[in-house]
Structure 1
Amino acid sequence: MKRIVLPLLAAAVLGTTFLLAHESVAPAKAADPDRESVAVTVYNGNLGLVRDRRRLGLRTGSMRLPFPGVSAQIDPTSVAFRALAHPSDVDVLEQNYEFDLLTPEALLAKYVGEDVVLYVTRDDREVAVPARLLSVQGGTVYQIGDSIALNPPGRVVLPALKGDLTPLPTLVWTLGSRHAGEEPVEVSYLTGGLDWKADYVATLSGDDRTLELGGWVTLENTSGATYEEAKLKLVAGDINRAPREEDEQKRARMMDMATDAASAPEFEERAFYEYHLYDLPRPTTIRNNQKKQIRLLQAGGVATERLYLLEGAPWYYTQPYGGEQGRRVGVYQEFRNARHDGLGMALPAGTVRLYKADRDGTIQLIGEDRIDHTPRDERVRLKVGEAFDVVADRRQTEFKVVDSGHVYEEAFEIVLRNHKDADIVVQVLEPLPGEWRMIDHTHRFEKAGAFSVRFEVPVPKGGETRLAYRVRIEI
């Protein structure tokens, strides 16, 4: 009789294959049909669409067809089966998803309350000890003679496989066929455990007027399946999904790292409905528990400019406000996603890390920011950090309630100090709540929106500039 051996304290993966029996419906000829191709589309937000083409042998009448190797996080309600050569002659009568997987823990649990054999070491030799398995909850409990043993050392031997455990997540169909012979089929389904993100590396030139931008896609597969030589597509955009009754529990997994060569072909990008599709023009293997990086884009000589920005807050305008001293001024780099600048490709959301070489040529990180999905010809603004040598003092010089509770007139003064060795221009962005009217101002301004104004304030090197304005606000 074949025996199954398990360590007591360490889980070992069993590779035994099951033959699934059924009383009234005979199994199909090919229990593991040959895969012809697989295509994987990965969306933002832990969602993938798998299209799996295989060839299987059919005969006329009813048959039971196991379809192993599907994702462990498959949504069974999304599965679609299609016969490609004779679609009108093959009907799906019943579908089941078998996910009671063959593991040491699951197999051992089938023997609770039954006799097994323990092998323990005594006097430097292994001795067989009959035992009864009482529990596997939080460890193992055995009855050995009149004693109870908790997590005893050694290994346990089971007489046989037991139960309907399956080595891999498996779809099982009951088919009715009016055609006999080889039949190509396509199975498609949605699955969790597939996700991707974009990351960018931008390197500023010495004069800060151009940058080189490289983009990489990081694809993560924790779906429980490997997709060999898959046709890979990525969808960027926020698709709407129906609410689910409960969120799936995420399992912790070890992640391997695999990086494609830098000379690999880049993704081909195109519009698709209200989203953007990125198509890898070569097959790639997406292994389970793997992170894979593939180049998305590479562009040089992208025109950019540095911006200094000081932002106010709406609450300044509805109450007396004492002011703030030594406020930091934000530093930004901005560029246009345009073809004439070497870009012009829809940029998926992701993190941009900005680098610059110091005086001896060593590349240093100067900041990072996250961008949203950015269409072509739109501007990209990256916050690099806070300027060390540019500070601002802000104070409210007058506050008057014109009409109690909703009309205010007030004045503000902002002093900008520049300790750098070069002249700069600071943008001061003031959010004005409600209806507003500018009564007086020392610098020109423009409406940045219905409820905001922007001042462009030149500040000389080693000097300071005073910006003052008076505004009436009705809320």
Structure 2
Amino acid sequence: MNVVAPLLFTLLSLSAQPKAEQTQLTIYNQNFAVVRQLVSTDLQAGINTLTRTDVTRTLEPDSVVLRDPTGKRALRVLEQNFRPSALTPETLLERYEGKLLDFEVMEPGGRKRKVTGKVLRSGGAAQYSRYGQVISQAAQPVIEVEGKTRFGLPGVPLFPPLSGDDILKPTLSLVVESGQAGPVGLELAYLTSGMTWEAAYNLVAPETGDTVSLTGLVTVKNRSGKVFPNTQIQLMAGDVSKLRPAGIDEIISSDGDNTLIGGFGGMGGGAFMGPPPVTQKSFDEYHLYSLSRKTTLQDGETKQVEFVRSETIDSERVYVYSGAWIDPNRYRGWGYENIRSSREFGTQSNPKVWVMREFENTEKNHLGIPLPKGRVRFYRKDGEALQFVGENTIDHTPQGEKVRVYTGDAFDIVGERRQTNYADSSGKSTIDESFEIKVRNRKKEAVTVRVVEKLYRSWNWEIKEPSEKFAKKDSNTIEYTVTIPPDGEKVITYTAHYWW
């Protein structure tokens, strides 16, 4: 059954006097997001101060936009201040390094007593990157109590009252000039890092045959320092240009947990019930995917939603043998002149035959939806069980294009390639080079293998005495397609004549 969703999502209605504040998120797969909050406020004519403590700690201050979405209220932002570092027990303890501080200690029987200790080292707070990742963990505090030094706190620290300028959450403050008084619904929008999403696909093949079922999941990660309750979430797929701020330490890697939860969920038969969980539409030069219902995204949470499902996709398993092994370390930076002077270039043999999986992303093939880039995992049924048979990644794939994924090397198909002749007529600027390629099939059934040969030594070439018909794939690639019987071998020979 193919489920390709129609567009159900509509933009939130923005009125001058909204009943409740609303939030929308558009998350990009480049570790940033656009946050849009509908803010209810009552402005006075003249100067107003708007303070928000429900923003992310990774907000980009110069990206903030405050506007009346109806266009009826003229606004001018005179000043803007952002304080990302909220007060924590660790940062508060830092203020008392070298000073005395009281601690509440719990004793057996539930009695509490108070001890006084000197804070020799607070331990400091964990350091975060712009993307919300931990750069360095806090150290252990060191406290001197009753003439003895100890690691760790002796009890719960009892701090004096906070000062008026202490903040408990990241805070954005704007000084706004309004031309008129009265209640208004404003839209506050900004860019924030620390949020990302990625796609993952699970394909399951039957015990025999190549008609596969596919389930696509989107995984959303929130490391922004803010909870987004009851929020409309959209996901933007595409390579959007985003500059990295200079002078800021950035940790781009994830938190180390790349596991996808519920990998096989719902892969069996049966009809898909209810509305599609994710819809998509073209937007500018990209594709916009929308979750069909609002959801709460906790800080530090990884959330997954299914966005595409098809039970009957025709695919093809393809064997490819590219017999020349080129050592990238040895030949890095080589040009045609270096290659022509080296008889050994391209003569090392690669015995591995690649296993590829191909399928058309078309409606005719029960798919036909733009597929965002992500990891593709392949499984094959083994009775009632599923066995993992390979994985790789795909790039953004438009509707109508072919998906081709390398899944591993064949066990029972082996290749062999050797140079049989080399003649360099340097005075005439020509080279003649001959090869023999053998592909052996140790399976109990026949296989078809695509044998790929790269012609490295010149743009000008001609194939002489080929043992098999070949197809010219591009300016320096030819391909033989051969069928090898069970427990059989196929031998291909050819001579390449180069000139320059």
Residues 325 and 349, structure 2, Cα contact 8 Å, conserved in 1: no
Displacement of 1:189: 0.5
Give the corresponding residue for 1:18.
none
Partner of 2:229: helix, strand, or coil?
Answer: strand
Once the two structures are overlaid, the 10-residue window that deviates more, 343-352 or 134-143, is 134-143
Cα distance in 2 for residues equivalent to 1:247 and 1:312: 46
Cα distance in 1 for residues equivalent to 2:389 and 2:467: 34
> Is 2:97 the partner of 1:91?
no
CA offsets, 1:293-351, max 9 Å, x none?
Answer: 11110112211112110014485974334956781211112111111011111111111
Give the corresponding residue for 1:297.
308
Displacement of 1:190: 0.5
Cα distance in 1 for residues equivalent to 2:183 and 2:256: 39
Give the corresponding residue for 2:321.
310
> Is 2:380 the partner of 1:365?
no
Give the corresponding residue for 1:28.
none
> Is 2:167 the partner of 1:166?
yes
Identity across matched positions, percent: 31
Displacement of 1:157: 1.5
Q: Where in structure 2 are the equivalents of 1:184-195 lying within 5 Å? A: 184-195=185-196
Residues 407 and 474, structure 1, Cα contact 8 Å, conserved in 2: yes
- How many residue pairs align between the two structures? 441
Q: Where in structure 2 are the equivalents of 1:145-156 lying within 5 Å? A: 147=147, 149-151=149-151, 153-156=154-157
Cα distance in 2 for residues equivalent to 1:237 and 1:458: 40
CA offsets, 1:378-436, max 9 Å, x none?
Answer: 11112222111111121100011122696321000011111112112111111112322
Partner of 1:339: helix, strand, or coil?
Answer: coil
* Aligned with 1:36 (options 21, 41, 45): 21
Give the corresponding residue for 2:296.
285
Give the corresponding residue for 1:241.
242
Cα distance 1:287–1:466, how it changes in 2: closer, same or farther (>3 A)?
Answer: same
Residues 259 and 293, structure 1, Cα contact 8 Å, conserved in 2: no
> Is 2:415 the partner of 1:392?
yes
Q: Flag the structure with more relative contact order, 1 or 2, with Cα contacts below 8 A and sequence separation at least 6.
A: 2
Give the corresponding residue for 1:440.
465
Cα distance in 2 for residues equivalent to 1:376 and 1:183: 43
Residues 103 and 117, structure 2, Cα contact 8 Å, conserved in 1: yes
Residues 79 and 187, structure 1, Cα contact 8 Å, conserved in 2: yes
Give the corresponding residue for 1:465.
490
Give the corresponding residue for 2:47.
62
Cα distance 1:149–1:343, how it changes in 2: closer, same or farther (>3 A)?
Answer: same
Cα distance in 1 for residues equivalent to 2:155 and 2:250: 33
Q: Where in structure 2 are the equivalents of 1:342-381 lying within 5 Å? A: 342-358=366-382, 360-381=383-404
Partner of 1:340: helix, strand, or coil?
Answer: coil
Displacement of 1:101: 0.8
Displacement of 1:140: 4.3
Residues 86 and 179, structure 1, Cα contact 8 Å, conserved in 2: no
Cα distance 1:57–1:469, how it changes in 2: closer, same or farther (>3 A)?
Answer: same
Cα distance in 2 for residues equivalent to 1:58 and 1:296: 42
Cα distance in 2 for residues equivalent to 1:157 and 1:346: 57
Once the two structures are overlaid, the 10-residue window that deviates more, 216-225 or 136-145, is 136-145
> Is 2:362 the partner of 1:338?
yes
Q: Where in structure 2 are the equivalents of 1:258-277 lying within 5 Å? A: 265-277=276-288
Displacement of 1:205: 3.1
Partner of 2:399: helix, strand, or coil?
Answer: coil
* Aligned with 1:73 (options 45, 58, 74): 58
Residues 347 and 375, structure 1, Cα contact 8 Å, conserved in 2: yes
Displacement of 1:89: 4.0
Displacement of 1:42: 0.9
Give the corresponding residue for 2:199.
198
Calculate the TM-score normalised by the size of structure 2.
Answer: 0.80
Cα distance 1:243–1:104, how it changes in 2: closer, same or farther (>3 A)?
Answer: closer
> Is 2:481 the partner of 1:456?
yes
* Aligned with 2:122 (options 116, 133, 136): 136
One-letter amino acid of the structure 2 residue matched with residue 353 of structure 1: R
Residues 324 and 350, structure 2, Cα contact 8 Å, conserved in 1: no
Gap regions ≥5 residues in structure 1: 1-32
Cα distance in 1 for residues equivalent to 2:254 and 2:469: 57
Displacement of 1:155: 2.9
More strand as a share of residues = 1
